[in-house]
A and B are shown apart, each in its own frame.
Chain A
Amino acid sequence: KAGVTQTPRYLIKTRGQQVTLSCSPISGHRSVSWYQQTPGQGLQFLFEYFSETQRNKGNFPGRFSGRQFSNSRSEMNVSTLELGDSALYLCASSPLGGATDTQYFGPGTRLTVL
């Protein structure tokens, strides 16, 4: 099976712009989670989608949003970018998103905000 893919791999944006990141999960996986990884804060959970519904959300401002399509592909959007949004954004998929599930991670999208 193909792994989790994320596009683009690298992005450079300026403050105030918006950005959309894409994630294609492993075939058959219905749960997609998004994480922000920074050197200072580590891995922080953004949100999780299952069957096109957001089931759980981390403690991020409303500028961070996401959605999931019927084929389980997911996108996350960050509006009005701030310098502090520079980070590696990781997407992970799992079959059902249950507490015992292994999460399979993509390589990430490196976002730089200038």
Chain B
Amino acid sequence: AQSVTQLDSQVPVFEEAPVELRCNYSSSVSVYLFWYVQYPNQGLQLLLKYLSGSTLVKGINGFEAEFNKSQTSFHLRKPSVHISDTAEYFCAVSEMDSNYQLIWGAGTKLIIKP
């Protein structure tokens, strides 16, 4: 992948409201797509990934993402957020012919307002 763009650096949302975190990528080949989450003062952990098959992928903690090949997007959604979802979310892409390197977005901080 040549680049991964996370369109929002911060997303504030009220508790129990829905949220969408946006991710777009550019690549000339087929890709695999990942969302990772980083809680404060911790390393990253995988939320979900798209490898093939159904374009709607479900992950941990109630998150899901949809791969849209024509839009080259992989937006992350959750229908109702909780205070515990406060974290930074990273979109990453690897190309099918890649040399084992993930390309990362800049991250989106999800801020939950009580």
Contact = CB atoms under 8 A, between A and B. Distances in A.
Given A48-B100, A56-B99, A56-B101, A105 B45 contact: yes
Interface in A12-60: 31, 33, 42-45, 48, 50, 55-56, 58
A106 B43 contact: yes
A99 B43 contact: no
Interface residues of A, number: 25
A87 to B, nearest CB: 14
Interface residues of B, number: 24
Given A42-B104, A42-B107, A43-B107, A99 B45 contact: no
A45 B93 CA distance: 13
Interface in B34-59: 34, 36, 41-46, 49, 51
Given A90-B43, A106-B43, A100 B101 contact: no
B98 A99 contact: yes
Contacts of B42: 107
A45 B99 contact: no
B11 interface: no
Contacts of B105: 42
A99 to B, nearest CB: 4
A105 B37 CA distance: 11
Interface of B: 32, 34, 36, 41-46, 49, 51, 90, 94-96, 98-102, 104-107
6 contacts: A56-B101, A90-B44, A99-B98, A100-B32, A100-B94, A102-B46
